[in-house]
Amino acid sequence: MQVGIYIYDGAEVLDFSGPYEVFTTACRVGGVNLDPRLLAARPDVITARGGFRVLPDEVLGAHAPLDVLIVAGGEHEPQLSSPDALSALRAAAEPARIVASVCTGAFLLAGAGLLDGRRVTTHWEDQSALAARFPELTVERDRRWVRDGRYVSSGGISAGIDMSLYLVSELADRALARRTALQMEYRWLEASD
């Protein structure tokens, strides 16, 4: 199963490394194939928040069709101003079984026109801004993650780990998600609120 995690300059480190760790740990402890790949708009080093440098695995749009697309949050405004990035996100999302966002990654999915009329969440500090900028969304507060059809959005940073464990429970089973959390020594909040 192909899991693509979209990153960009200014992405929040735990927004992409947390889900990446969940999926690779699930592969290790459960023998499942949830192959996470870091995707970016260019093949060069990406400088995430705090100066964390990471080399993406593939360029967004130049990869096999994804089963799961996850969009990290962070300094998202430059991405919202890039028609190429938004178009590539739309194309990558089309075949995906699940399209997800961590934190302000929801702004990018909304900017790509993928969340119109849907229930979503984001970091508590950005919920009002998301609702104001995209009034066609129903922004739910006090939720770790929200699922609406094939779209899943989470609150900020560590909520993305909870959401990713939930995705493992959906893609494999809840027992594997619990074993993954145990292996990570992470206290998984299994309910979304």
Q: Which two tokens stand for residue 53?
A: 């440098």
Strand residue runs (E) in the chain? 2-6, 35-40, 46-47, 53-54, 58-59, 68-71, 98-102, 119-120, 138-139, 145-148, 151-154
Number of helices (H), then strands (E), in the chain: 7, 11
Residue 151: pLDDT band with limits 50, 70, 90: very high
> Residue 126 in contact with residue 103, Cβ under 8 Å?
yes
Residue 124 has pLDDT above 90, yes or no: yes
Q: What is residue 35's predicted lDDT score, i.e. its pLDDT?
A: 85
Residue 170: exposed, middle, or buried by beta-carbon count in 10 A (0-12, 13-18, 19+)? middle
Counting every residue written for the chain, the total comes to: 193
The whole-number pLDDT of residue 193 equals: 64
Residue 80 CB neighbour total at 10 angstroms: 16
* Res. 192: pLDDT tops 80: no
pLDDT greater than 70 at residue 48: yes
* Structural domains of the chain in order of their starting residue, each with its CATH number: 2-184 (3.40.50.880)
Average pLDDT over residues 150-165: 97
Mean pLDDT computed over every residue of the chain: 96
| pLDDT, average across residues 153-161 | 96
CA distance 47 to 129: 25
* CA proximity to 66, closest of 26, 36, 102: 36
Is the separation of the CB atoms in 41 and 73 below 8 Å? no
Q: What pTM was estimated for this model as a whole?
A: 0.97
- Given this model, what pLDDT does residue 122 score? 98
Instruction: State what percent of residues in the chain have pLDDT above 90.
Output: 96
Tokens (6 digits) for 153: 């959005």
CA distance linking residue 177 with residue 104, whole number of Å: 24
**pLDDT for position 5:** 98
